[in-house]
Structure formats: C-alpha cells, structure tokens
Structure 1
Amino acid sequence: MIREFSLTEVWVIVSGIWATLALSLIAFGLGGLTGLGVALARTAPIKSLRIAAATFIDFFQGTPLLLQLFLVFYGLPVLGVKVNLWVAAGLGLALHAGGFLGEIWRGGIQAVARGQSEAADALGLGYYDRMRYVVLPQALRMSFAPTVGFLVQLIKGTSLAAIIGFVELSRSGQLVSSITYKPLLAFGLVGLCYFAICFPLSRYSARLERRFAVNN
C-alpha cells in the first residue's frame, strides 16, 4: 500500500540523524585512539613498528570502506565472534578512520620543527615526555583542520553502513522512499539533512586552515 508523504515520513527521515551522528562519534572516537597509536608507531624509532603502521595505513587507505565493513560484519562471525550492527558498523568505520587519522597526524608530527625535539633532548626529556609536552600539542594543532575535514567525510561515509542493515539517515530515506514511491522527495530531504550537518563543519575546517596559514 502506497502511503502519502506526510510529517510522519519526514520525522522518520529526520530521526535517522541521531543514528548517523552517534555512529560518527563512536567511529571518530575509537578511530582517533587507533590513529594516534598508528601515528606514534609510524614515527617511532623502531623499524618494525613503522612497517606495521605503514601496512595498516596502506590497507585501510587502499581498500573501499564498503569492503572493510563487509570484512568486519561477515569476518568476525566466522572467527566465532558475534557482533550486532552497532558493533560491526562502529568497528569497521573506526578502523577506516584510524588509517586516515594516523596518516594525518603522522604528517603533523613530522611537520614539527626538528629543533623542538632537539631542545627537548637537551632538557633531558625522554621519548614519552617529549611527545606528550612538546611534539604532540604542536602536531595536533597543525592537524586540526584536516582532522575536521576528515570528520566530514566520515559522517558521509556512515551512509555505507546501510548496506549491512544499519538504519541511519540514508537507510531511513530508503525506507520512506519504498513506502511512498517518492524517491526524489525522500532522498532530497536526506541530502538536506547531510548538508545541514556537514556544511558548517566544512566551513569551520576551511576557517581553521586559513587561520593556521596566517599564524605561520
């Protein structure tokens, strides 16, 4: 039975925003922790750590996000690990984010002037204190704009979680489209919702990039 496109259908689509935002925050938080570890390993003095981190980055940057979601969703049960949709989608997106954030923050760490590390060494700071108090604060500040830019891409990337059955903003639009037979109206509203979320973040990222360029 075809239903009219009413306020109920609008609410169904809009209510999908919270799932998109929640999934994005989970993926960004876990991906940030993973990315920080990858960035530190990528710049570590131990060669095996650098190789392992580079392999991780190459895999998650060199394969489609959809494939990564499939590997988590279908791969973990094969290993005897039962996962629900939230865990599968969150873990897949977090690993994806870790690969990209690790490379972004690696660039920030290596962009810090070598003299800063040499000064820390002269003060007798060990590797942990040097990274914590000298290098990382500067590196993360320089990497803030591209990090926000990646967050925008991650929010849009959550739409692929619909393929494994996760109901977020895009999936909500698809469900409404299937019962109203008005795909242009349904997905037009979905597009407006994504725009309302991502456009302010994109502008904020651009402003941060300009501010950092002026300060340097």
Structure 2
Amino acid sequence: MDWSIIVMALPILAVGLLATLKVCLAAIAIGIVLGFALGFGALSRFRAIRIAVLAYVDFVRGTPLLVQIFLVYFALPVIGINFNEYWAGVIALSLNAGGFICEIVRASMQSVDHGQTEAAQSIGMRHGQIVLHVLFPQAWRRILPPLTNELISLIKGSALLSAISVYELTHAGQEIIATYFSPFEIFLLIALYYYALISALAWLSRYLERRLPQY
C-alpha cells in the first residue's frame, strides 16, 4: 500500500466525485420526470400509448447500458443529432433510468387495492383523476424503495461513461493509474468513494420512507 499515492489521489478523485454528482443529479432529475410520465402513460386508457411505452421499456430493459451510451454518443450523430460527452452521458443515463422507473411506477400503482379504484368510480371520478388523486398518493411508499435501488444503479452505471471520455470518478482514477501505475490503491479509493455516495443515498431513502404518511 503506497500511502503517498493515496494522499495525492484523494483530492483528484474528490474532483471526479463532484463531476459524477453533477452528471448523476442531472440524469436523476430527467430520468424521474421521464419515468413518471411513462408510468402514467403505461396506465393510459389509450392502447397506442400503452404499446409505445411497453416497446420503449422492453428496449431499455433488453439492451446493455453501455450499448445505449454508445447509441447516444456515436449513432445519433449519423442522423444529425450531436451531443458532447457530458450531455450524451446524461441523456443515456436518463433514458435508461426512465424505462426502469416507468415499470416501478406502473407496478406500484397497479398494486393498490382494486377496491380503491371501484370506490372512486362509484362517485364519478374519471380515469385520469383516479390515477392522479387515488392511486398515485397511495403508491408512494411502494415506489420509494425500488426507486432508490434504480438511482443507486444509475450512480454505479455512471462509471461506464468513462468509455466516452466523460470526466467522472472512474475516469479520474484511470488517469491517475495511467500515470502512476497503482491500480490497487486507486481502484480501492474509487470503490470507497462510490460506497460513501451510495450509502448516503440509501440513508436518505430510509429517512424519507419513515416520513411518508401511512395509507
């Protein structure tokens, strides 16, 4: 264990961690909005919308995240859609997370007791009102734990963005290793940085879950 390498690498990897947070926060924000919109679309009364959402979710779940990153960064420019490394990474992570969050939202709302829907229909509520005002509020506690797991997966998946030269935690570590040839110390530090970040997110999720009202 070379402690001088560790002392030197700590601040550099901290900068990489901040870059990872920047990418992940943007991807989480976009992915949550997209996922919830698709989740509501999956419960639409219009069959065409449900089929379109299902096709999107199947594609996202059936292809590796790395391939999706390459599609956004390398394939889209062929049809005239160009993104720099940062935004290609954010969009790829967002699109991936959106598909999984969609399934979390759909499954959670469909798990609410069907009697709730029947009661709402009996007082004349429309389908959209039932989804938004009856099912969604009751599904929150069921949504939060798997949503946290998906956000953790997103943070871990951000390491793949080093493949398209996005400067984030893993890429910062790779640059240090290329210079000082110390993979053990650097990858151990990277793992500890990721562990601290994900542990903080898991703690926040448990805290919010305790604060949510019971239904």
CA distance in 2, matches of 1:141, 1:123: 25
CA distance in 1, matches of 2:10, 2:92: 29
- Does the 8 Å CA contact 2:6/2:186 hold for their aligned counterparts? no
Residue 159 of structure 2 corresponds to which residue in structure 1?
Answer: 159
CA distance in 2, matches of 1:206, 1:65: 27
Q: Does 1:128 align with 2:128?
A: yes
Of the structure 1 ranges 149-158 and 62-71, higher mean CA displacement relative to structure 2 is found in 149-158
Q: Does 1:197 align with 2:197?
A: yes
- Does the 8 Å CA contact 1:117/1:134 hold for their aligned counterparts? yes
CA distance in 1, matches of 2:57, 2:33: 14
Residue 115 of structure 2 corresponds to which residue in structure 1?
Answer: 115
Q: Does 1:145 align with 2:145?
A: yes
1:22, distance to aligned residue in structure 2 (A): 1.6
Q: TM-score, normalised by structure 2?
A: 0.89
- Does the 8 Å CA contact 1:149/1:205 hold for their aligned counterparts? no
User: How many pairs were matched up?
Assistant: 210
CA distance in 2, matches of 1:6, 1:38: 44
Matches within 5 A, 1:27-46: 27-46=27-46
CA distance in 1, matches of 2:177, 2:143: 40
Matches within 5 A, 1:4-23: 5=5, 7-23=7-23
Inter-CA distance 45–19: structure 2 relative to 1 (3 Å threshold) = same
- Does the 8 Å CA contact 2:16/2:167 hold for their aligned counterparts? yes
CA distance in 1, matches of 2:204, 2:94: 23
Deviation track 1:113-158 (CA, whole Å, cap 9, x = no partner) reads 1111222222222233222211111123211111011111111110
Unaligned runs of 5+ in 1: none
1:20, distance to aligned residue in structure 2 (A): 1.0
Unaligned runs of 5+ in 2: none
SS state at 2:5 partner: coil
Of the structure 1 ranges 92-101 and 38-47, higher mean CA displacement relative to structure 2 is found in 38-47
SS state at 1:124 partner: coil
Deviation track 1:16-39 (CA, whole Å, cap 9, x = no partner) reads 111111211111111111111221
1:5, distance to aligned residue in structure 2 (A): 2.0
Report % sequence identity: 35
CA distance in 1, matches of 2:58, 2:82: 27
CA distance in 2, matches of 1:16, 1:167: 7
Deviation track 1:144-175 (CA, whole Å, cap 9, x = no partner) reads 11101111111111000110110101111111
Q: TM-score, normalised by structure 1?
A: 0.89
Deviation track 1:158-193 (CA, whole Å, cap 9, x = no partner) reads 000110110101111111111111111111111110
Letter matched to residue 142 of structure 1: R
Residue 62 of structure 2 corresponds to which residue in structure 1?
Answer: 62
Residue 181 of structure 1 corresponds to which residue in structure 2?
Answer: 181
CA distance in 2, matches of 1:193, 1:148: 18
Letter matched to residue 92 of structure 1: A
- Does the 8 Å CA contact 1:156/1:194 hold for their aligned counterparts? yes
Q: Does 1:73 align with 2:73?
A: yes
CA distance in 2, matches of 1:55, 1:136: 23
Of the structure 1 ranges 97-106 and 19-28, higher mean CA displacement relative to structure 2 is found in 19-28
1:201, distance to aligned residue in structure 2 (A): 3.0
